[in-house]
Structure 1
């Protein structure tokens, strides 16, 4: 997932924890004033996320009480693909790092993170993890290297109010990309708003093109003999770009602002200016809390439309232990990962406690669905535990929940996905801004460029 998307917080009906993001400087330290071990952890929320800050502080206090001799020092550092590798190689990172799902396989292959299987298996509920969410964090020998938080699957976010104004049924959102195109034109023609918006900068154009490619049945990367190569010139990817080109130049349904990142799109959506975009249910929280969406009843989300494919891109935040953490800090880090991220997504008591605390803030969003981190039985119990505190309109998420089970969950390209996205951003921008953009040559050039970089990374 692109770096700006790290702020796309999800507070889940299916898995509830605080989503923590921001940025801060790293101040190395190994012991507290009284000789305590100081554990530096990424994932502390920014000051603007008051419910999240309060929850994080309580987690820290509870953890320190349960683990005397360990002091937790939170960091609001966020993943930046431009600087992350250098910091990690130099050991200038915290003892717990937070990365998007694009990174674990690369970090595992390059031996920049530590396996945590042995200590994690000591937790009695380890075997109840959903295998789908652990698979991207596991090496070929079966060792696990991280703990997921709020895994999600991408879908189609839409404005129910604009649907009604355009004569569309908000309870029956598009299920194919041909239907998306038709609905986008109707919304644009009827309301003057952008019928559909595709992100196009800050690596997010490539990220969303990946979603489109999956929906048309494509792949953007293949593995053979332990080596990865980019496959950007496949017909499904071209079909996705042709769709965007037609919507832009034939239908004029993509709006007037064509160079957008995720925050730009959600801000416009929150203001009622966008009919549809690709996003997860968790974008509800950003629309409401960060961009002040007043008419939250207009928020709707459906499964990812399909036109030849049967998959949707999945992602989430992953917490890992870097190679630079010594034995004591690594052991403390796994204790923190289990306490702060695994247990709250498993324990009905902790889930209910956190939901109650968060629901006290009128700006919070409790009950937004995410993918289950544990088995179905446990998830049903979690849902029941937080039900009294849910403050979102679950009816508006029903199309997504009902339809998600019909799709395969497909992770982002496993090796150096950010480099693919960087190369694809200009391709998307060209299609959106140049009527005569040559899709075939643009993709061929991008594929050549990416494969040269991937080859250098795998020497």
Structure 2
């Protein structure tokens, strides 16, 4: 899609990117609750000194710069000057009994993740006379509305953050392209899931330091009760359907086969979007026009209809995402397609779970959609662009990426860490996730016009297909016609 000029964005045209984002805060709860048994032995100052000593010396900026950065839930420690927040956060954790010791290469208390993440970045930026001030604009629709207003008023932070809305902002010409040398380094050193969804016309416009992609998880106890091998990973859609039905039959109303969250919202689209990618389908073409009624998409909806029958009535389409995952945590569903945090969350709630790549359709190829990917970008109207790009560089530094690796909740994007034998051995599940991050990964599209309405049309058609026995192709044909009217 050709990049549009910012001036074409004024007024209601900007609102087309108003998507309800999801997933960025999913990791917050997991990280806060995670308490790995193998804690480390070095206090925060020692770990920070190691980060400082390993950083290449860079001349300080001529004058100090205060960078304004939007908070992202999984790594945020509050609002204000980060130097002040680090002091108060460390005290809060210690007073609450959290062991904040951390030695790189060892697991640590999950509640300390944000503290170290911000401290490592702050240490690197101080070398360039850059300090950081954070603001919290929320997530989802409130965040998008504030960002939209900020763009229109040309009053926007130096770094903004978001998920499904960010490619649309880039397409509208609202974001600054990464410098060519930085983009080349990113392509060489980082997993595509971190940047590929933010690549427009050969330029990169955003980066996520710990993006997620989906995998298949299964509750070994329920699978075994259905007479199936709990250690065997299924590899095909046919196996998924067959196994889900066997578990549902064995459960007799107490537990079900499950499969994937399928509500008409971005929590659903981000998860079963992976099935669309696997089957060679798309939600939109390169010009942002709908492709709802393709044969590949119809086959995905047919699969979802079958899986819906292996859930408690109404659960798969429940707009409250938490209700669905609460059922999983209570051991009521056997199969689940979800992001990498689910591996640690299984341990947190006492479930023995298997994890494997998402099964393939008969003619499918591995594919995925980023989920829980908090993309950081520099607006064209940012006041401190050079410092903002320094911040993003720090996000993929060795220190920050090692911290992410040690958290065991997400995979690092830095290849030199993720592809080591040490990482493969210590974090086999997250290495499996990393392998998916370097494959065929995409983000959800932004439609050429009236984006929210187009997604609503698709979601309504998907729900109708799952809740009735109507002809799915006819339902999607009708949705295609209506979506074409609002996007052209």
**TM-score class normalised by the smaller sequence:** 0.7 to 0.9
Greater CA drift, 79-88 or 227-236 = 79-88
Residue-by-residue CA offset, 1:253-290 (whole Å, 9 max, x unaligned): 122324334433222211111111221222334566xx
1:53 aligned onto 2:114: yes
SS in structure 1 of the partner of residue 22 of structure 2: helix
CA contact (8 A) 2:161 2:374 kept: yes
1:411 aligned onto 2:468: no
Q: 2:483 aligns with which of 422, 425, 450?
A: 450
Q: Evaluate the alpha carbon distance shift between residue 214 and residue 408 of structure 1 in structure 2; reply closer, same or farther with a 3 A threshold.
A: same
Alignment of 1:339-354 (within 5 A): 339=394, 341-343=395-397, 347=398, 350-352=400-402
CA contact (8 A) 1:231 1:447 kept: yes
Aligned to 1:108: 170
Alignment of 1:122-141 (within 5 A): 127-130=188-191, 133-140=194-201
Post-superposition offset of 1:127:
4.1
Post-superposition offset of 1:247:
4.0
Residue-by-residue CA offset, 1:20-75 (whole Å, 9 max, x unaligned): xxxxxxxxxxxxxx985342333253779832332344246424533335333243
Q: Evaluate the alpha carbon distance shift between residue 379 and residue 352 of structure 1 in structure 2; reply closer, same or farther with a 3 A threshold.
A: closer
Alignment of 1:230-269 (within 5 A): 230-248=290-308, 252-256=309-313, 257-260=315-318, 261-269=320-328
Give distance in 2, aligned partners of 1:440 and 1:378: 46
1:275 aligned onto 2:327: no
Q: Evaluate the alpha carbon distance shift between residue 178 and residue 263 of structure 1 in structure 2; reply closer, same or farther with a 3 A threshold.
A: same
Q: 1:42 aligns with which of 71, 77, 82?
A: 71
Residue-by-residue CA offset, 1:281-326 (whole Å, 9 max, x unaligned): 22334566xxxx4214x12221111112113223133110112212
CA RMSD of aligned residues (A): 3.7
Aligned to 1:148: 208
Aligned to 2:53: none
Q: 1:210 aligns with which of 273, 279, 282?
A: 273
Aligned to 2:418: 379
SS in structure 2 of the partner of residue 40 of structure 1: strand
SS in structure 2 of the partner of residue 189 of structure 1: helix
Give distance in 2, aligned partners of 1:125 and 1:167: 47
Q: Evaluate the alpha carbon distance shift between residue 402 and residue 411 of structure 1 in structure 2; reply closer, same or farther with a 3 A threshold.
A: closer
Post-superposition offset of 1:336:
1.1
Q: Evaluate the alpha carbon distance shift between residue 4 and residue 161 of structure 1 in structure 2; reply closer, same or farther with a 3 A threshold.
A: same
Aligned to 2:25: 7
Give distance in 1, aligned partners of 2:111 and 2:255: 33
Q: Evaluate the alpha carbon distance shift between residue 3 and residue 413 of structure 1 in structure 2; reply closer, same or farther with a 3 A threshold.
A: closer
Task: Give the structure-1-normalised TM-score.
Answer: 0.73
Task: Give the structure-2-normalised TM-score.
Answer: 0.69
Q: Which runs of 5+ in 2 are unaligned?
A: 1-18, 32-62, 79-92, 94-109
Post-superposition offset of 1:367:
2.6
CA contact (8 A) 2:199 2:205 kept: yes
Q: Which runs of 5+ in 1 are unaligned?
A: 12-33, 357-365
Post-superposition offset of 1:183:
0.8
Aligned to 2:368: 313
SS in structure 1 of the partner of residue 208 of structure 2: strand
Q: Evaluate the alpha carbon distance shift between residue 150 and residue 429 of structure 1 in structure 2; reply closer, same or farther with a 3 A threshold.
A: same
SS in structure 1 of the partner of residue 68 of structure 2: strand
Post-superposition offset of 1:236:
1.8
CA contact (8 A) 2:257 2:311 kept: yes
SS in structure 1 of the partner of residue 241 of structure 2: helix
SS in structure 2 of the partner of residue 146 of structure 1: coil
Size of the aligned set, in residue pairs, is 393
Q: Evaluate the alpha carbon distance shift between residue 402 and residue 87 of structure 1 in structure 2; reply closer, same or farther with a 3 A threshold.
A: closer
SS in structure 1 of the partner of residue 115 of structure 2: helix
Q: 1:338 aligns with which of 393, 406, 410?
A: 393
Aligned to 1:158: 218
| Structure with more contact order per residue of length (Cα contacts < 8 Å, sep ≥ 6) | 1
Post-superposition offset of 1:380:
2.5
